[in-house]
Amino acid sequence: MRCPSCGYKEDKVVDSRATAEESAVRRRRECLKCGKRFTTYEYVEEVSLLVIKKDGRRETWDRKKVLAGIIRACEKRPVSVEKMEDVVTQVEHSIQKKSDREVLASRIGELVMERLKLIDDVAYVRFASVYRQFKDVGQFLVELKDILGKDKKKK
């Protein structure tokens, strides 16, 4: 493992624990040269999963791509990177449990939205607005009314 700061190849593991879904091991490491700490994740290598896009193309599953969308939705929100990683892990785990080797991109989007809705309403609306490609403010307001209605029921 190379240090992301200085590139040195030797480090020590400071902390190691399973993620919430227990499908990965999260390790905190410290570079033996510069002392910088960084996090790595260890996953079981699964059979490659193909994502079927709207236009019928197939791409290999890329957790980094899903995480990037979640990070954009959670920008300037009080959501930790660890929670965002957990969302991706939960989605990946759910897909692997229920599908063979192919999954619709729309299913991935729905799974992400379900989890974001539980974590942060603003991040959920941001993700949904891009994912569902809201064409006008009306569509956006319908989604907000749904969230506001659920908040009133909680109180």
- Whole-angstrom Cα distance, residue 27 to residue 40? 5
Q: What is the mean pLDDT of each run of 10 residues along the chain (155 residues)?
A: 93 91 88 95 78 93 94 94 93 83 91 92 86 70 69 54
Q: How far apart are CA 105 and CA 39, in angstroms?
A: 28
Q: Which two tokens stand for residue 141?
A: 């307001």
Query: Are 11 and 32 spatial neighbours (Cβ–Cβ below 8 Å)?
Result: yes
Collapse the DSSP code of 52 into the 3-class scheme (helix H, G, I; strand E, B; otherwise coil) and give the result. strand
Give residue 79's identity as a one-letter amino acid code: V
Q: Which of 74, 102, 98 is nearest to 86 (CA)?
A: 74
pLDDT of residue 129: 79
pTM: 0.63
The residues spanned by each domain of the chain are 1-45, 47-154
